[in-house]
Homo-oligomer: A and B are copies of this chain.
Amino acid sequence: MTAPRPTPPSGGRVEMIHGAGGKAMAELIASIFAPALANPYLAQGNDQAALPIPAGGRLVFSTDGAVVSPLFFPGGDIGKLAVNGTVNDLAMAGATPLYLSTSFIIEEGFPLADLDRIARSIGAAARAAGVAVVTGDTKVVERGKADGLFIATAGIGVVPAGLELSGDRARPGDRVILSGSVGDHGVAILSQRENLSFATDLESDCAALVPLVAAMVAAAGPALRLMRDPTRGGLAATLNELARQSGVGMALEEAAIPVKPAVSAVCELLGLDPLTIANEGKLVAVVAPEAAETLLAAMRAHPLGAAAAIVGTVVEDPRRLVRMRTAFGGERIVDWLAGEQLPRIC
């Protein structure tokens, strides 16, 4: 970082000049971002971070924009979400996430104290996930031209040689394992927005899945076909994507899918299906049948997979449908979100 004396971010607000590329921007970066994210790569102070070439089989690269509203919610904030969103998309390939970039788009008038809190949350989430935020960008747009703050992160990870996880690898007979309860993130955000006081204990599940993934890869080896995090569109969208990509169908057991009582209650009240609600700290794995119990045991032994369950089976189906035996013994097709909209929960 190239900036002069840092000034503490008390009381002030972000102004247009903070995005103009001059002294005020350098001071903002030096006083808020640099200390929160501190690492030797960011400290190089050039237009790009120079990094050692990682040893392994492949690089992986991913990006996610975070536009959640409100910016602070039970269990997290936009900064934590922006880190874990990209970290998890890397981890789903079995990768070790290494480096992140952050692009801030800030509305004029945004409180510096909130920016500081969010920057520190990014730093903490990055440390927890074992990644370094090595480069960034800061833009400011006029009042009314954004909704407080948007953050786009991108990330680089490395996959060990020989590990091949991809959405096209599900085969009939494989088991579908879910790492825990669905709907927590989306419902936690919605409850805040709708002021549903009875759901105040509910927290977003926002978390980095890196250590759970490491345990899973170690336990299942090549029997692990693929992993995916059911974020926007929820479990329903993710399973439909995977069915299409692998050219298979899925047969689910509703009774096996963990849903917290508060999530069920809010969904009933608002007329939502928990299977279409976003999660930010869950994953779906598809595994060869002979390794399913071993994998499940390894997942349950980890805090991030304590409530893991086998929720279904991959089946042959030229129509690539996701079907579910309901708790009442009937059957329904689990389609991906069509009419419904749950904007701005991630």
Contact = CB atoms under 8 A, between A and B. Distances in A.
Contacts of A46: 92-93, 166-167, 228
Interface stretch (A99-107, A215-223, A297-305): A99-107
Contacts of A265: none
A344 B44 contact: no
Contacts of A157: 48
A57 B16 CA distance: 39
A167 B241 contact: no
B47 A229 contact: yes
Chain A facing B: main interface SS: mixed
A122 to B, nearest CB: 14
Contacts of A156: 59, 61, 156
Nearest to A3: B244
Interface string A310-335: 00000000000000000000000000
A302 to B, nearest CB: 21
B343 A19 contact: yes
A116 to B, nearest CB: 20
B59 A336 contact: no
Given A20-B341, A152-B152, A59 B50 contact: yes
A70 interface: no
Tallying the copies of this chain within the complex gives 2
Which bracket fits the contact residues of A? Answer: 35 or more
Contact of A233 (B20, B141, B341, B342): B20
Contacts of A134: 61
Contacts of A342: 20
A54 B55 CA distance: 10
Interface string A21-56: 111111000000000000000001111111111101
A146 B146 contact: yes
A48 B22 contact: no
A286 interface: no
- Which 3 residue pairs spanning A and B have beta carbons closest together? A21-B232, A21-B233, A22-B337
Given A22-B237, A65-B105, A103-B154, 5 more contacts: A48-B90, A51-B58, A52-B59, A61-B99, A64-B103
